[in-house]
Structure 1
Amino acid sequence: MLKFIGEAVIIGVDTSISMARKDYKPNRFENAKRAASIIARSLFSRNLPTLLSLMIFYRYSFPLTDLTDRLEVIEKAILQLKIMGKATAPSEIIKDAYLILRNVNPGYHKRIILITDAGFNEGVSLEMSALLLSISEIELDMLTFGSIPKSIFEHIDRSVKNTKGVWLHSSNTDEILANAAKLGEMYPD
């Protein structure tokens, strides 16, 4: 039996220049867009009221949609995604997503899903940002791909665990898409 009446989820897509790399066919960014679409469709296919917002992040973050229960709004926004600029600051999207999620009605499980190559090089540390989420009972899930340095690997692991989230790393395109489906099909505990 679920203890939540619904779920409010923000999908954040990394739009930094490193996402244009072609080590995943056709490139990292196109796979991130496909993953965002799979996550959105999977979230809405569950028998659970779901509100979803799409955001982008690189050095800055920006919400592309309000929280909505309409898949077509999210899909339209995904089609518009483009590489935005240099640097990657996950703290920016975490802060902005927190500001949106804190106003969601009680009874909704709150969750942020970041899709990224984890080339984090700006802003407040991921662990410090995750502290805000853990205090606020907002889960941080991550779908990553690419070569991740050991120091960042450890930060991601601790940050996700501190929010009771899930981290799935993908070594090829098929894994990116399969892991996206797993994240979208999850129910809140």
Structure 2
Amino acid sequence: LAPVTELNGNIVIAVDTSLSMAARDLKPSRLENARLLLSAIAEQFADYRIGVAAFAGQAYIQCPLTTDKDAITYFATALSPGMLPEQGTDFAQAIRTSLGMLARYGGQKVMVLITDGESHSAELNAALDAAVEQNLKIFTIGIGTPDGELIPMTDSYGNTMEYKKDSAGKTVVSRLDENTLMKIAGRTGAAYLRYTGPDEAAQEIRKTIDSLDLEKIRGRGRANFKNRYQWPLALALLLLLIELTLMEKGWVFSLKIPRFPRGKFFPGAALLFLACALPLAAAGPDALARQGNSAYAKEDWPKAFEYYSQAAQKAPAGDQRFNFNLGTALYKMEDYAKAGEIFEASAGAGP
């Protein structure tokens, strides 16, 4: 384990990976600048746990909260425009996913929302209510320009084939929407910042967060283990004492188990077996993913990996939603190489 360090809080960086982030009003692109900013924030907040979420029409955990800056930088390289199956920009999904990632940690909770601000969320107010209730400060970073830029549609080699058009066939111009971002930051007691460069933005975020009344928490750099053996040990000693007492008294317990004739078929038993088996067989990918999420919350990484694997196998062809969670489970199991392969394959597969 690494030495005990003073951790000042926890940050989730939510990065917009919708198609509009491919716009090039900031060179080389909005998303490339978001990557640089993410790495700069990791450098500025070495005394924080940091996690990364990618979002568009849905949000997915890209990197669980960690103090490993190399892991954060590695997973940041997998971010690309249009990498997620559901397109659009839903801030509510990003906020809820961030709240879930931060739920198990104490201390200051901060979310940094990096986006061009074009939201299509109908549940933003409800998500902000939840953020305020859980004292989540949401700092918003606007990437782009108010004048806007066309959205390039590229091939697998990065060559521009055409520009995105709406349903009426008109070329879409993506503009920075600062009003929504100011609303989100103001509602949660944080601040909005228009992006001018990675280092400047990261320093400004650090300066602003340092001005908040932070609750100090202590933790380990790599892991935080607590001794919890006292109660199981006390129970084991009690059971041992009972066993010794029974042996001394000579007490004997007998348990009669009914015997069934061989070769007999019991319809009730068969129905009970089917009742238990059918729900498992009928479980769809979403249900399996929810079971994986439950196991993940209990830190049972192998079981979470098993459920996510089954969900990915049952998902329709081209549906990459569950692979991100699958890669996250592998990362928690410290199989970094395979986790990286899954993230890269998912990003390359696109929507």
TM-score interval (norm. to shorter) = 0.7 to 0.9
The alpha carbon displacement at 1:5 in A equals 5.6
The answer on 1:153 being equivalent to 2:157 is no
Identity %: 21
SS of residue paired to 1:65: strand
Q: What aligned pairs does 1:11-26 form with structure 2 within 5 A after superposition?
A: 11-26=13-28
Q: What aligned pairs does 1:1-189 form with structure 2 within 5 A after superposition?
A: 6-44=8-46, 49-83=47-81, 84-85=83-84, 86-105=87-106, 108-125=107-124, 127-147=125-145, 153-170=178-195, 175-177=196-198, 178-185=200-207, 186-187=209-210, 188-189=212-213
Are the aligned partners of 1:117 and 1:145 in contact in 2 as well (CA < 8 Å)? yes
* C-alpha spacing 1:123/1:62, structure 2 compared with 1 (3 Å): farther
Q: State the one-letter code of the partner of 2:202.
A: A
* C-alpha spacing 1:147/1:129, structure 2 compared with 1 (3 Å): farther
TM-score scaled by length of structure 1: 0.83
Q: Distance in 2 between matches of 1:128 and 1:153?
A: 20
Which structure would you say has the larger Rg?
2
Q: Which runs of 5+ in 1 are unaligned?
A: none
* Number of residue pairs the alignment of both structures matches: 174
Higher helix proportion (structure 1 or 2): 2
Q: Distance in 2 between matches of 1:78 and 1:121?
A: 24
Q: State the one-letter code of the partner of 1:22.
A: R
* C-alpha spacing 1:42/1:5, structure 2 compared with 1 (3 Å): closer
The alpha carbon displacement at 1:61 in A equals 0.6
Indicate the structure whose relative CO is greater, using CA pairs within 8 Å and at least 6 residues apart. Answer: 1
Q: Which runs of 5+ in 2 are unaligned?
A: 1-5, 148-174, 214-351
The alpha carbon displacement at 1:133 in A equals 0.8
SS of residue paired to 1:97: helix
SS of residue paired to 2:120: coil
Residues 64-103 of structure 1, C-alpha deviations (whole Å, 9 max, x = no match)? 1111111111011111212225310011010011112121
Are the aligned partners of 1:118 and 1:148 in contact in 2 as well (CA < 8 Å)? no
- The ranges of structure 1 where at least 4 consecutive aligned residues each deviate by more than 6 angstroms after the TM superposition are none
Q: Distance in 2 between matches of 1:41 and 1:99?
A: 24
